[in-house]
Amino acid sequence: MKIYCKGRAIIEHAINGESHEIFPDELGWEPTGGSERNMGPEELYEALVDHDELGELRWSLSEYPIGVENYKNTDVGKHRLVGPVALSCRPRCSFKPPSVRKRQGFSSPMLSGDGADCRTL
């Protein structure tokens, strides 16, 4: 699975109140384990950042069932995660949202879409 992240994490230092930004390209995601569950395997992933001022920062993501983000967590230790935009991470999926198009000669539009297939990535 490839994990897709966007946005930025803004973390406020617990002692001096200084804000620091963490961007998606600073996160190196690694598989950390998993288990077999009712709907198939659950895969666990983690990204660690060793920041000079903030220390160790940890992002966790669970994929269960395969292709679906089940759980995510951000651990910034004693510091505070603030906005305006937090990192949003999810499995990279080939989902294409449906579109509505006007059909010539018909009074109602037609919904079309390719659906999703996350198994091929």
83-114: pLDDT as tens digits: 655 666 666 654 555 555 666 777 665 555 54
86 lies in some domain:
yes
Question: Would the pLDDT of 120 be above 50?
Answer: no
User: Is 106 part of a structural domain of the chain?
Assistant: no
Question: For residues 98 and 80, what is the distance between their CA atoms, to the nearest angstrom?
Answer: 38
Rounded to the nearest 10 degrees, how much is the dihedral formed by the CA atoms of 94, 98, 101, 103?
A: 100
Domain that holds residue 61: 3-91
pLDDT at residue number 42: 94
> CA gyration radius for the chain?
19
pLDDT at 117: 46
CA dist 83 and 111 (Å) reads 36
Identify the band that residue 67 occupies on the pLDDT scale cut at 50, 70 and 90.
confident
pLDDT of 86 = 60
CA atoms within 13 A on the CB side of 24: 11
* In a domain? residue 114: no
Considering the domain boundaries, does residue 119 fall inside one?
no
Mean pLDDT of the chain: 81
pLDDT score of 121: 38
The whole-number pLDDT of residue 32 equals: 96
**3-state secondary structure at position 26:** helix
- Quick one: average pLDDT of 37-58? 95
Q: What average pLDDT does range 24-29 have in this prediction?
A: 92
Evaluate whether residue 74 is within a structural domain.
Answer: yes
Does any domain span residue 97? no
With respect to residue 27, please indicate whether it lies within any of the assigned structural domains.
yes
- pLDDT > 90 in the chain, percent: 50
